[in-house]
Each structure stands twice: as C-alpha cells, then as structure tokens.
Amino acid sequence: MIKVQVVLSPALLHLFDSKNKNVVVIDILRATSTICTAIAHGALSVKPVNNTDDALILKGSGYLSAAERDGHKLEGFDMGNSPFECMNGAVLGKKIALTTTNGTKCITAATIAGAANVLSGSFLNITALANFLKADSRDVILFCAGWRDRVNLEDSLFAGALVNRLVSKDELDCDSALMVMDLYHRAKSNLGLYLEQSSHYKRLSRLHHQEDMEYCLQSDVIDIVVGLKKGEMVNMA
C-alpha cells in the first residue's frame, strides 16, 4: 500500500520526510500546469530557476527565458507563465528556463529534500500521473506550493483529487490528506465555481487570466508525466 501525505504549504515541508519518495509539486494556477503543457507541446525541457538573473543567463545558452512575479509576465523575458504561450509551436524543440513566484521554488525545495522523483502536478494529466505513482509504488508526498507560504484552495483541491485516486480514506494516516479529500468531494462538481472564492483566482481574474484558469482546471487533456531529470523537467517516458 502506498503511503500518501499532503504538505499544505512550503512552510510545512520540513515536517515531512521526503527522502526517496515521489514528491508531486502542485501549483495548479499556474506553474506546474504550464510546465506540463510546455512538455506536451514539444518543449525539450523546463529548467526551474529561483531568480530572474539565472533565467537570463540561460537565455545566453539558447534557452527561452520565462519569468512571472505576482501573476505578471516580467519585462525582457521571452515568456511569462501562461500555458497558452507554450502552444502553436512556440516551444517546440526548445528548452525553457522558468522562474515563478512559488512553483519553481518548490521544485527546488523538493529536490533538496531528497525526493526520488520530483513530479509536476496538474489536473491536465491527473490520470497519467496517478497511474505512474501507482505503478512506481514508492510513498508519495503531495507538495502544495500555495501562495508565499500560505495555504491555497486550488492546490489543496488538486491534492484531494489525487489522494482520491491513489488510496481509500481508511488507508490514510495523514490529517491534511483527509482534509483535502473532503474538500475535493465538496468542490468536484464544479471546481471553477468553487474556486471563484479563492484569493489567487481573484488575483488572476484581476489580471485577465480567466482563460488560463479555465484551461488549467480541465482534466486529462495531456497523457504524459513530467518530472525532474538532471535538474530539468522532462517527459518521464
């Protein structure tokens, strides 16, 4: 039986033992959804970097530079953090160096914590991801990126959806996993409507990213699993 635990915020990661586990980093709106989309649309890799300088240095080595802070695309970069920027051949055959407010930092944190695999979580490929985790059979940490160390609803909801696919309630011994599972059951009939109350949904609405959110809340439009190899997010196949 796979042991599944849920980390609701980066500030709580140190309380869990991530060593040799499959750690799924979850930043539904939008970093980990965008990373899955980039790889599904033919990007060779997405390298998570923690600051804008590193993204610009990598641009000098042929990477597309991508940067977001507080929901804004930063001036002087090839891309921001929208999944739509990865479509229509824009990233085909390219490597991307991406820095975001929360998500990319969590990929680094999971690596430092000793994860066996660091995987990108998204509704877009939830079935492929759940099948990978079940087949691999290592214990699993679902690591919600949240917003600046605060818990958020959308990452918690996705964690609940994934817990629901991996184990039954009576197999859980983690209260945060039980909590997000209940949250997911409450919201699943209309995730978008449920999330309208949430702070990041409101933030991204103010920035006119409605279309990105609708896209990121779709299930199973991507059939690959994306994870870290040699410091870059790639197709795990």
Q: What angle do CA 101, 35, 208 make, to 5 degrees?
A: 60
CB of 69 to ligand 3SL, least distance (A): 8
Helix axes 153-166, 126-136, angle to 10 degrees: 50
Q: Which one among 65, 100, 117, 176 touches ligand 3SL, defined by CB under 6 A?
A: 100
Residue 154 makes contact with ligand 3SL by CB under 6 A: no
In the chain the beta strands, taken as DSSP E runs, fall at: 4-7, 22-26, 45-48, 64-69, 72-73, 95-99, 117-121, 140-144, 226-229, 232-235
Residues within window 197-216 making contact with ligand 3SL, judged by CB under 6 A: 204
Residue 71 makes contact with ligand 3SL by CB under 6 A: yes
Stretch that binds ligand 3SL, among 26-34, 39-47, 127-135, 189-197 (CB under 6 A): 26-34
Q: Which one among 7, 68, 96, 233 touches ligand 3SL, defined by CB under 6 A?
A: 68
Query: HSE on the CB side for 118, CA within 13 Å?
Result: 28
Residue 30 makes contact with ligand 3SL by CB under 6 A: yes
Query: HSE on the CB side for 16, CA within 13 Å?
Result: 32
- Number of residues forming the site for ligand 3SL (CB under 6 A): 12
The pair phi, psi for residue 73, each rounded to 5°, is -75, 135
- Encoding tokens for residue 124? 């877009």
Query: Per-residue b/e over 24-50, b at no fewer than 16 CB within 10 Å?
Result: bbbbbbbbbbbbbbbbbbebbbbbbbe
| Structural contact between residues 74 and 80, judged by C-beta atoms closer than 8 angstroms | yes
Rounded CA gap, 66 and 105, in Å?
Answer: 14
Q: Which one among 4, 9, 18, 27 touches ligand 3SL, defined by CB under 6 A?
A: 27
Stretch that binds ligand 3SL, among 29-37, 133-141, 160-168, 187-195 (CB under 6 A): 29-37
Which of residues 30 and 94 has its CB atom nearest to ligand 3SL in the complex?
30
Q: Which one among 4, 8, 26, 29 touches ligand 3SL, defined by CB under 6 A?
A: 29
Which of residues 29 and 64 has its CB atom nearest to ligand 3SL in the complex?
29
CB of 98 to ligand 3SL, least distance (A): 9
Chain residues in the site for ligand 3SL (CB under 6 A): 27, 29-31, 68, 71, 81, 100-103, 204
